[in-house]
Amino acid sequence: MTVRSAIVLAAGEGKRLRPLTEHRPKPMLPAATEPILAHVFDSLIAAGITELTVVVGYGRNRVQSYFGPTYRDIPVTYVTQEKQLGSGHALAAAESTVTGPSLVVNGDQLVDRRIVEDVVEAHGEADDAAATIGVIQHGTVAEYGGVLLENGDSADSSRPVAEIVENPRDDRSYLLNAGVYALEERAFDIVRSANPRSGEHSIVDGLDALINGGEPVRGVLSEGIWIDATYPWDLLEVADALLESGERVESTTASSARIHESATIRGPVVIADDCVVGPGAVVGPNVCLGENVTVGSNVVCEHSVVDADTRIGPNATLVDCVTGRGVRVGAGSTVVGGPGDVHVGDRIHRNEELGALIADRVRDEGGVTYAPGTIVGSNAVIGSGTTVRGTIDSETEVRS
């Protein structure tokens, strides 16, 4: 049976992306200049999905107010997961909204249409499959989920799943579970009733129960793009993937943007509605400017994701930079670029390609220097002439 409905899991916060997720959930963070969730919706619609159910939780008002009851003329139904008790629990919350086979996808990971199309096609061709899983070749399977397919014709991209393992630690040749599933109605009961671990219900445990119960589960190997923005610097990788893929190979500048005749735009870039780029500024390559961003005169901005309503003062330099919304970067301030050591929670991540993360509504008074790997929390004030490094907490004022 053809799959026409999809359940999108978008209830999580994304704690390792703080401080960006202090005021909005991870699915609403920018992939280039649009929310990650919008790209997920686009991939589903391109694959023929005509009904969307979205499981929301943390920051649900942000999701619902942005997308409303329809997206690109496709109806959107919202279901609230009051407590984040795992992906299986989220799936159970949405089960009553769909009939027949359904796709289940994560709404906080960039997954392109090829993976979705491959899963839909493979599931339609496998008459007996209770579930079909999208898998890809990936170098960091241990951080996510691994899938082993049964031996068969190497030219056959779709084969039965032999084993599915969360965070595998052995040295077997796992494929990465891309978090795109096609489930028949009979699979929902088994996935929902799988025994929880550490108080959470996991879709992976449910799929494992399907396999152990003798239900046919297939995996389809795709060459589509999959990226999980786990940490702030991953938003740069997400933007790079979109800019350099077939979706946005060339520069895209909104018709309402105003680019001074003496400014230089070095593609690929995305410049959204109502942006202003001042005289002598150099923007790009690999830069995404969200709506209503102002780039002052003689600014240099390279390899950066600058979110909506941000102002970059004259003579400032931003390299390998991620900003939140409503940031004010003062005149002559400098983000020198990565690599740098970044503190996230109780871990230090070495040599990450992050010049600085400057969160929502930070005010930089000018002449500030950001050491590589700096994270500045939301609503902080950085005094003029200051050099900052490490992590600056939200609501903090820093003076030299």
User: Which domains does the chain possess?
Assistant: 5-228 (3.90.550.10), 250-398 (2.160.10.10)
Question: Which residue type, as a one-letter code, is found at position 373?
Answer: G
Cross-strand bridge partners of residue 304 = 287
Q: How many CB atoms lie within 10 A of CB 398?
A: 17
| 3-state DSSP assignment of residue 272 | coil
**Phi, psi (degrees; rounded to nearest 5) at 204:** -60, -45
Residue in the block written with tokens 């996808």 = 105
Q: What is the pLDDT of residue 387?
A: 95
pTM here? Answer: 0.88
The enclosing H or E element of 188 equals: helix 185-193
Write down the pLDDT at residue 156: 61
Which residues touch 83 (CB under 8 Å, ≥6 apart)?
A: 57, 89
Residue 113 has, within 13 A of its CA and on its CB side, a CA count of 15
The crossing angle, in degrees rounded to 10, of helices 185-193 and 203-212 is 110
What is d(CA 147, CA 139) in angstroms, rounded to the nearest whole number?
13
Interhelix angle 60-67/36-46, rounded to 10 degrees, is 50
pLDDT profile of the chain (400 residues), mean per 10: 82 87 90 91 91 88 92 91 69 72 88 90 81 86 83 67 82 87 78 63 78 84 87 91 68 89 94 96 95 97 96 97 96 93 85 93 96 95 94 91
Closest CA to 145 of 109, 119, 121: 109
- The owner of tokens 């003029």 is 384
Position 199 scores a pLDDT of: 58
Whose tokens are 């671990």? That residue is 197
Rounded-to-integer distance, Cα 23 and Cα 277, Å = 28
Which pLDDT score is estimated for 346? 79
Strands 252-253 and 5-10, sheet pairing: unpaired
pLDDT of residue 285: 94
Number of other CB atoms surrounding residue 150 within 10 Å? 11
Task: Specify the pLDDT at position 364.
Answer: 96
| Residue 171 CA: distances (Å) to CA of 154, 201, 208, 295 | 20, 26, 20, 49
